[in-house]
Amino acid sequence: MGMSLSAKIEQKLAQSGYWIENLARFVAIIGGLALVAIALITLVSVAGRATIGLGFSPLLGQFEMVEAGTLFAISAFLPWCHLKKGHASVGVFTDLMGKRINLFLDFAGDILLAFMAFIMTWQLMLGMYDKIGFGETTFLLGFPVWWSYAAALFGLVTWVIVGIWTSLNSASRIFAKIPENGAR
């Protein structure tokens, strides 16, 4: 006899979970490297400012680089945070509820976060097209502003993918068999 539909769905989600986790991890690592680069840029700029008397100077456009890098880094961490359920939850209340209610709350949270990821991605994309259309550049360095928007899209699109996967995974857990022994 073949597997039930819910068992097949759970199996496919488990198989795809490996790829989803690796994708989110990769994007978060790239975001972490960007954060290290931001710290180094800031260090070099502050050191240059502190040693002006010796002929050094702060980095030109340092705040523009930090701004663009921070936008990317934050967007790169969101998929990992969502996947690992790193968002805030109120355990004081949810610990008192049964397993099914907690599973439903997880599902509702995953759906809402996936929706928020989609809206943020959509709005960032519209903003990027706007920046491309007007040819807006940064003041000091003169690089196109849309470049940082495009970099942030990398993390946000990954967040949408993770959001869809976690929503499907949470939904499948709601319909999975739960022991009737009162386990939470």
Domain boundaries defined on the chain: 5-31+61-175
Indicate the pTM of the whole model: 0.87
Question: Of the candidates 140, 159, 8, 2, which has an alpha carbon nearest to the alpha carbon of residue 75?
Answer: 159
Going 50 to 56 to 62 to 65, the CA torsion angle's sign is negative
Dihedral (CA of 43, 46, 49, 54) sign: negative
**CA–CA distance, 128 with 153 (Å, rounded to integer):** 9
**pLDDT of 1 over the 60 cut:** no
Distance CA 12, CA 165 (A): 11
Question: Which position has the higher pLDDT, 156 or 105?
Answer: 156
Q: Which residues contact 53 (CB under 8 A, 6 or more apart)?
A: none
What's the confidence (pLDDT) of residue 17? 86
Q: How much is the average pLDDT of 118-131?
A: 97
Token pair in block for residue 10: 């759970």
Q: Which two tokens stand for residue 2?
A: 């073949």
Judge whether residue 133 has pLDDT over 50: yes
pLDDT digits (tens, 9 = 90+) for 49-86: 899 888 888 889 999 999 999 999 999 999 999 999 88
Cα-Cα-Cα-Cα dihedral sign, residues 24, 30, 31, 32: positive
Task: Round the CA-based radius of gyration of the chain to a whole number and report it.
Answer: 22
